[in-house]
Amino acid sequence: MADEFLNPQKILETIPLKENMVACDLGSGSGGWTVPLAKILKTGVVYAVDILEQAISVLNARILRERIVNIKPILSDVEKGVKITGSTIDFVLLSNILFESDDKESVLREAKRLLKPEGIALIVDWKEDSPIGMREKRVSFDEIRSLVNGLEFKIEKEFDAGKFHWAMLIKKI
């Protein structure tokens, strides 16, 4: 996996997910991770949250085209809070959202608020030395590790998520 570009399906297959879980993709964009996640969580629900109307619109079209019934798109600013009841989510996905965020800690706090006790979250972001992608706002693995530890998450594992991304699986304690 470390020698290829980001492959959501392969990465998600390494996470301990169950078909009936409730998940939330924070910063879902047009569904690059949301759709593979929804296919794994066949009897569960995936909330897809994004701040951009265009991304939600593209995702809605994809949901209709592919006849996916377990994705619930939500237009919202993650930094200001998402209209989902707290402690109701089994799995939160934060893929390529932290580098775009002005307030990384508030995004991680929102993930923690959403998660059930013992719920897990997957953080994926650009490696600092990646030759592609936006360079100016990259977040270091160490910076996120420090924030995660400060918010009292337990780091379950850290790994390469392809050639240009790192990943961290964390658990709410």
40 is a domain residue: yes
Which among 111, 24, 109 has a CA at the least distance from the CA of 71?
A: 24
| Residues in Cβ contact with 32 at an 8 Å cutoff, skipping those fewer than 6 apart | 8, 95
Say yes or no to pLDDT of 1 above 70.
Answer: no
Segment 111-168, tens digit of pLDDT: 999 999 999 999 999 888 888 876 667 888 899 999 999 998 999 999 999 999 999 9
pLDDT above 70: percentage of residues in the chain: 97
More confident residue, 131 or 108: 108
Domain of residue 109, CATH code: 3.40.50.150
- pLDDT value for 133: 74
Select the more confidently predicted residue: 172 or 130. Answer: 172
Is 6 within the bounds of a domain?
Answer: no
Structural domain boundaries, residue 108: 22-172
Domain count, the chain: 1
Label each residue of the chain as H, E or C.
CCCCCCCHHHHHCCCCCCCCCEEEEECCCCCCCHHHHHHHCCCCEEEEEECCHHHHHHHHHHHHHHCCCCEEEEECCHHHCCCCCCCCEEEEEEECCHHHCCCHHHHHHHHHHHEEEEEEEEEEEECCCCCCCCCCCCCCHHHHHHHHHHCCEEEEEEEECCCCEEEEEEEEC
Average pLDDT over residues 167-172: 98
Q: How confident is the model at residue 73 (pLDDT cuts 50, 70, 90)?
A: very high
Mean pLDDT of the chain: 94
What is the pTM (predicted TM-score) of this model?
0.95
Q: Which pLDDT value is given to residue 2?
A: 60
- 39 falls within a domain: yes
On whether residue 10 sits in a domain, the answer given is no
